[in-house]
């Protein structure tokens, strides 16, 4: 009566309030609250109806959903003083009810899921009804669950004392439900069976219910289901308009269950999708596991391939404990079967909940700009069995620019095992920057799947690592272009000219591997490689090994400093002979990560003869004099894509610089010529012999053979030091015609040896062996130098003198006349010279910062051929600075310097005064 009264009252209240309610005159909050109350009334009425329907045997038609189970289980069963008894004329009805109970078979869910039915009623319904038939008005729970149970007919049943309560209740429920009347000898007070309880409750309700509509509802299953849907829709619609929208979504799931039962899969799928979204958003996986298989069955019936695959993936993504292993394998087999056989079009699918990936733990992979590599990625598979991926593509993004990134493809079939998998991708060259993982995509048959990743850092705790909460971290770092290698000359100066020398090229890796490197060598003009000799390579023992590393090293710090080179033979050093093939050399493997030196035999060619000087010290040579260049190109890197180009300048020199000085001129035309040898190489020079090849105008004094006046051979000259030789010469009588001709050169020949090491520059040529026997002249080197010796040495033809200045008060800005007198010291016959030979070229040279020439700087003047002829050359000039400065210099370009004597002999200075002071006076107007 109470259940019936609640249903009738709720329906009457809903109808009454709906008529009186006007939604135009209320506030939004009041409107929502009204709909919430309406929803509660519908929901309460619905629950009471379910209870009544279950009491009369319609329980098999009620969807066993979590909502219905919770609603019915939390309500107490009616407890009348005495349970209604079975009428005598209800035997046929009892048979129908028993048949209905026996034919009840739980509907098998999709994928063969076997789940324990959720309880929709207390399991002691039979016991409760039979206990209420006794004379006891108050229930005794101890009678129900354990010990001895007595009924009003005097029958008793013993229950094992140690039986758990749930098992005891289940045992009594089954014994009372499926027992037959023949099991009891006494017909008075026999316990009621479940079918009899249903018939008794139905007869009692028919006597209690006075509402004809309610009687009609409970008269048939169809009418009950129609009213059940009406009440559920009413509750759901009102909840959707109220504050409790989620309650409406849950009740939509109950409507979907009825639609699914009726075969209306379209409406059922739409409602199930809302319910699954709610349960997934709240993290209620237990409830989602109840509803999601029904949604998948609807989608399969509707041929919704994309939705069905997504539901299968979501089922696989739920907690493993919610389904049996064979059930999860059924989910995977559905995915694979559809992907390979049944799908008509490519279907994209997000499998982020099943497949996640990250880089391996540790520092990110480091590459240099332009390098290729192999990227290793860890992939976690949530599939219960092995699954074959037809192709796999991994994207990664630059941290500073989301639009930039790359794709790594693995076109081969990849088998993912459950849990952790390690997959390698070939990595093409990337732009400099830091990269994180982006998206993993691939194909399984016609299924295109996509998985996001967050570049999870650190190792996974287990093979089921599926966390998305760890922060992103770089997986790849590509460094900006930086020096990866360095090529430099071990010694670049003071090498022997015209001799084969070892040139040391230091190859220094800078935090990079030179494995498989190839060095291209291109010599410039005047330089050639002696290909008849092999190239030697050895490790540079004292070079800094801390500045080298592997190709994938993440340290981009350059340490280009090279320690002192020590290439002395040692047992722990590498040494190898290499061949030059088509101008290139291939590095051995041991030279990939250590500093090494390449010794290349090179010969610098210079056809010019060395010339001595008449000064006491060696003349300062130009920086580019006898300079040679060698172009080097080093190809290295993983794909030979790294290029290092450089040009090394090498300076070659003669072993000696020769300077001469006339030490004495005797009265008998004998000259003592002092020759000074200056060492120009960083090695010890040993002179074994020296001689002069004289030409017309000079002869060796006495019986000399051109050897110096010395008995101290061999003469040892240390690096950067000097030694002297003394020759005795005689002058020959020359005619006037010979005097006007240019005399040939006098050659100084020196036979010497060099004792040095190739690591310090100058050393014995490659073709030479150890000079242990100095008497073997074939092993010695010969140096030749041209000496400036002209006849007569002390008999010039012209005398040039600087005439005194007109006044000592030379001032800045004042014009001054400079004068030089030129006088002929020898008489020259005109018939022995060409016409107009009296024309003499002159040139005035002055420092432009100190003098301004106001006259003619260059020109011709006439000087008679007779001895004593003289001429004065004058020029106007202006001093620009004050102090003691060198005056302008008169030069005669057409006449050799040895034929001119100057007065004064050396450089002199003139005094220039500052400009005269000037004053100005202001006169008032």
Size of the chain in residues: 925
Tell me which residue of 455, 441, 461, 471 sits closest to 364, measured CA to CA: 455
DSSP letter at 768 equals -
Average pLDDT over residues 611-634: 76
Contacts 24+ apart (CB under 8 A), 584-587: 584/518, 584/519, 584/520, 584/521, 585/518, 585/519, 585/521, 585/535, 586/516, 586/517, 586/518, 587/507, 587/514, 587/515, 587/516, 587/517, 587/518, 587/519, 587/537, 587/636
**Alpha-carbon span 498 to 569, nearest angstrom:** 28
Cis peptide before 236 (omega within 30 of 0): no
Q: Is-contact 176 127, C-beta < 8 A? A: yes
- Tokens for 208? 């209690």
Close Cβ partners of 159 (under 8 Å, ≥ 6 residues apart): 146, 147, 148, 149, 168, 171, 172
Question: Higher pLDDT residue, 796 or 505?
Answer: 505
Beta-strand runs (E) in 742-838: 746-755, 781-787, 798-802, 816-824
Q: Is-contact 351 311, C-beta < 8 A? A: no
Q: Express each pLDDT in 100-111 by its tens digit.
A: 777 766 666 667
Tell me which residue of 437, 303, 295, 302 sits closest to 313, measured CA to CA: 295
What phi and psi, each to the nearest 5 degrees, are found at residue 372? Answer: -105, 165
Would you state the pLDDT for residue 483? 84
Residue 871 exposed, middle or buried by CB count within 10 Å (0-12, 13-18, 19+):
middle
Q: Express each pLDDT in 566-580 by its tens digit.
A: 444 444 678 888 888
Average pLDDT over residues 389-416: 81
Question: Higher pLDDT residue, 925 or 495?
Answer: 495
Average pLDDT over residues 724-732: 83
**Alpha-carbon span 257 to 698, nearest angstrom:** 131
Would you state the pLDDT for residue 742? 54
Q: pLDDT category, 777, cuts 50, 70, 90?
A: very low
Query: Would 485-541+574-616+625-652 and 798-827+837-919 be classified into the same CATH topology?
Result: yes
Residue 802 has pLDDT above 90, yes or no: no
Q: Is-contact 713 707, C-beta < 8 A? A: no
> In whole angstroms, how far apart are CA 782 and each of 604, 614, 761?
16, 22, 19
Q: pLDDT category, 156, cuts 50, 70, 90?
A: very low
**Alpha-carbon span 248 to 254, nearest angstrom:** 10
Tell me which residue of 91, 96, 101, 57 sits closest to 181, measured CA to CA: 91
Residue 146 has pLDDT above 50, yes or no: no
**Alpha-carbon span 429 to 406, nearest angstrom:** 9
Question: Higher pLDDT residue, 631 or 164?
Answer: 631
SS3 881: coil
Residue 734 exposed, middle or buried by CB count within 10 Å (0-12, 13-18, 19+):
middle
Average pLDDT over residues 422-428: 87
Average pLDDT over residues 13-41: 86
- Number of helices (H) and strands (E) in the chain: give both, helices first: 16, 44
Q: Of 523-527, 670-674, 823-827, 906-910, which range is least confident? A: 906-910
- Tokens for 313? 């993936």
Average pLDDT over residues 611-624: 67
Could you tell me what percentage of the chain is helix, strand and coil, using 3-state DSSP and rounding each to the nearest 5? Answer: 25, 30, 45
Would you state the pLDDT for residue 149? 36
Tell me which residue of 647, 640, 698, 635 sits closest to 672, measured CA to CA: 698
Classify 654-732+745-764+780-787 by CATH class. Answer: mainly beta
Tell me which residue of 450, 388, 441, 444 sits closest to 416, measured CA to CA: 388
What phi and psi, each to the nearest 5 degrees, are found at residue 429? Answer: -60, 140
Would you state the pLDDT for residue 616? 56
Q: Is-contact 207 215, C-beta < 8 A? A: no
Hey, CA dihedral for 613, 618, 622, 623, is it positive or negative? Answer: positive
Residue 120 has pLDDT above 50, yes or no: yes
**Alpha-carbon span 699 to 697, nearest angstrom:** 7
**Alpha-carbon span 256 to 275, nearest angstrom:** 10
What phi and psi, each to the nearest 5 degrees, are found at residue 887? Answer: -75, 170
The domains of the chain are located at 1-133+192-262, 264-344, 346-458+471-479, 485-541+574-616+625-652, 654-732+745-764+780-787, 798-827+837-919
Q: Is-contact 878 848, C-beta < 8 A? A: no
| Unique residue bearing structure tokens 């074959």 | 388
Tell me which residue of 295, 386, 388, 306 sits closest to 343, measured CA to CA: 306
- CATH architecture for residues 346-458+471-479: Sandwich (2.60)
Q: Is-contact 349 310, C-beta < 8 A? A: yes
- Tokens for 538? 């050895």
Q: Is-contact 774 714, C-beta < 8 A? A: yes
Average pLDDT of the chain to the nearest whole number: 78
Close Cβ partners of 455 (under 8 Å, ≥ 6 residues apart): 358, 359, 436, 437, 472, 473, 474, 475
Classify 485-541+574-616+625-652 by CATH class. Answer: mainly beta
DSSP letter at 472 equals B
Q: Is-contact 590 539, C-beta < 8 A? A: yes
Fold of 798-827+837-919: Immunoglobulin-like (2.60.40)
SS3 504: strand
What phi and psi, each to the nearest 5 degrees, are found at residue 184? Answer: -120, 135
**Alpha-carbon span 659 to 627, nearest angstrom:** 22
- CB 725: neighbour CB atoms within 10 A? 22
Cα Dmax for the chain: 180
Q: pLDDT category, 543, cuts 50, 70, 90?
A: low
Q: Express each pLDDT in 890-899 by its tens digit.
A: 988 888 776 7
**Alpha-carbon span 169 to 166, nearest angstrom:** 5
| Unique residue bearing structure tokens 């004058």 | 874
Would you state the pLDDT for residue 615? 61
Q: pLDDT category, 435, cuts 50, 70, 90?
A: confident
Residue 233 has pLDDT above 90, yes or no: yes
Close Cβ partners of 735 (under 8 Å, ≥ 6 residues apart): none
**Alpha-carbon span 209 to 320, nearest angstrom:** 49
**Alpha-carbon span 17 to 30, nearest angstrom:** 14
Tell me which residue of 38, 10, 53 sits closest to 217, measured CA to CA: 53
**Alpha-carbon span 303 to 298, nearest angstrom:** 9
Would you state the pLDDT for residue 238? 92
Strands 447-452 vs 347-350: parallel, antiparallel or unpaired: parallel
Q: Of 377-381, 500-504, 775-779, which range is least confident? A: 775-779
Q: pLDDT category, 851, cuts 50, 70, 90?
A: very high
Would you state the pLDDT for residue 41? 94
Q: Give kind and range of the element (H or E) at residue 577.
A: strand 575-578
Share of the chain above pLDDT 70, in %: 76
């Amino acid at each position: 009566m109470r259940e019936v009264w609640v249903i009738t009252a709720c329906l009457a209240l809903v109808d009454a309030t709906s008529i009186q309610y006007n939604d135009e005159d209320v506030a939004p909050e009041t409107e929502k609250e009204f709909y919430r109350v309406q929803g509660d009334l519908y929901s309460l009425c619905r629950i009471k109806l379910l209870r009544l329907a279950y009491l009369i045997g319609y329980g098999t038609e009620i969807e066993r959903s979590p909502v219905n189970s919770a609603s019915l289980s939390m309500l107490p069963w009616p407890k009348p003083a005495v349970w209604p008894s079975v009428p005598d004329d209800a035997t046929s009805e009892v048979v129908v009810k028993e048949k209905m109970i026996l034919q009840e078979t739980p509907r098998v869910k999709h994928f063969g899921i076997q789940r324990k039915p959720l309880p929709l009623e207390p399991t002691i319904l039979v016991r409760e009804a039979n206990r209420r038939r006794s004379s006891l008005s108050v229930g005794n729970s101890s009678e129900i669950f354990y010990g001895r149970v007595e009924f009003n007919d005097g029958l008793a049943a013993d229950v094992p004392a140690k039986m758990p309560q749930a098992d005891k209740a289940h045992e009594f429920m089954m014994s009372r439900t499926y027992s037959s009347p023949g099991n009891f000898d006494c017909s008075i007070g026999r316990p009621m069976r479940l079918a009899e309880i249903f018939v008794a409750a139905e007869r009692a309700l028919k006597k209690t219910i006075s509402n004809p509509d309610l009687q009609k509802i409970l008269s048939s299953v169809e009418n009950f289901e129609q009213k059940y849907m009406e009440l559920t829709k009413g509750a759901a619609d009102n909840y959707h308009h109220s504050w409790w929208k989620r309650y409406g979504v849950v009740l939509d799931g109950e409507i979907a269950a009825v639609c699914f039962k009726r075969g209306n899969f379209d409406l059922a799928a739409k409602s199930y999708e809302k319910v699954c979204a709610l349960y997934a958003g709240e993290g209620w996986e237990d409830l989602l596991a109840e509803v999601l298989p029904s949604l998948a069955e609807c989608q399969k019936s509707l041929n919704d391939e994309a939705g069905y695959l997504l539901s299968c993936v979501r089922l696989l993504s739920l907690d493993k404990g919610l389904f049996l292993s064979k059930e999860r394998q059924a989910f995977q087999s559905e995915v694979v079967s559809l992907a390979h056989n049944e799908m008509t079009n490519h279907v994209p699918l997000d499998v982020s909940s099943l497949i996640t990936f990250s880089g391996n733990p540790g520092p990110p992979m480091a590459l240099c700009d332009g390098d290729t590599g192999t990227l290793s990625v860890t992939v976690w598979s949530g599939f219960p069995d092995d699954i074959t991926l037809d192709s796999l593509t991994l994207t990664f993004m630059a941290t500073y620019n989301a639009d930039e990134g790359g794709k790594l493809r693995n076109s081969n079939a990849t088998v993912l095992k459950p849990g952790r998998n390690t997959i390698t991708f070939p990595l093409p060259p990337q732009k400099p920057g830091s990269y994180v993982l982006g998206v993993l995509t691939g194909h399984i048959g016609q299924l295109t799947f996509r998985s996001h990743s967050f570049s999870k850092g650190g190792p996974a705790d287990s093979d089921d690592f599926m966390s998305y909460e760890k922060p992103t971290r770089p997986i790849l770092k590509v460094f900006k272009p930086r020096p990866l290698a360095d090529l430099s000359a071990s010694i670049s100066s003071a090498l022997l000219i015209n001799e084969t020398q070892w040139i040391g090229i230091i190859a220094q890796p800078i935090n990079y591997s030179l494995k498989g490197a190839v060095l291209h060598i291109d010599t410039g003009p005047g330089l050639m490689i002696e290909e008849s000799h092999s190239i030697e390579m050895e490790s540079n023992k004292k070079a800094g090994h801390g500045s080298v590393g592997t190709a994938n090293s993440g340290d981009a710090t350059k340490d280009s400093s090279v320690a002192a080179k020590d290439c002395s033979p040692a047992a722990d050093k590498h040494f190898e002979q290499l061949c030059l093939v088509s101008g290139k050399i291939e590095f051995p493997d041991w030279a990939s990560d250590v500093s090494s030196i390449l010794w290349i035999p090179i010969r610098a060619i210079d056809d010019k003869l060395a010339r001595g000087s008449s000064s006491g010290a060696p003349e300062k040579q130009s920086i580019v004099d006898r300079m040679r260049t060698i172009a080097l190109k080093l190809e290295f890197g993983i794909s030979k894509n790294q290029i290092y180009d450089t040009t090394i300048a090498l300076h070659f020199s003669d072993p000696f610089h020769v300077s001469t000085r006339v030490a004495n001129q005797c009265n008998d035309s004998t000259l003592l010529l002092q020759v000074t040898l200056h060492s120009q190489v960083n090695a010890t020079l040993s002179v074994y012999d020296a001689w002069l090849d004289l030409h017309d105008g000079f002869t060796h004094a006495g019986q000399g053979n051109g050897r110096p006046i010395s008995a101290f051979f061999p003469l040892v000259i240390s690096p950067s030091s000097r030694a002297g030789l003394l020759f005795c010469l005689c002058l020959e009588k020359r005619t006037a015609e010979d005097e006007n001709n240019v005399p040939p050169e006098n050659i100084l020949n020196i036979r010497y040896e060099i004792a040095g090491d190739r690591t310090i520059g100058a050393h014995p040529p490659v073709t030479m062996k150890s000079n242990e026997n100095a008497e073997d002249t074939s092993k010695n080197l010969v140096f030749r130098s041209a000496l400036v010796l002209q006849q007569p040495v002390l008999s010039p033809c012209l005398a040039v003198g600087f005439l005194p200045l007109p006044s000592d008060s030379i001032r800045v800005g004042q014009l001054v006349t400079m004068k030089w007198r030129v006088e002929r010291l020898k008489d020259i016959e005109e018939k022995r010279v060409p016409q107009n030979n009296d024309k003499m070229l002159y040139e005035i040279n002055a420092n432009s910062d100190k003098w301004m020439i106001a006259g003619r700087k260059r020109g011709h003047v006439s000087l008679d051929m007779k001895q004593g002829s003289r001429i004065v050359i004058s020029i106007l000039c202006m001093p620009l600075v004050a102090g003691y400065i060198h005056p302008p210099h008169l030069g005669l370009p057409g006449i050799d310097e040895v034929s001119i004597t100057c007065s004064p002999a050396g450089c002199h200075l003139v005094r220039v005064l500052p400009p005269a002071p000037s004053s100005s006076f202001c006169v008032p107007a």
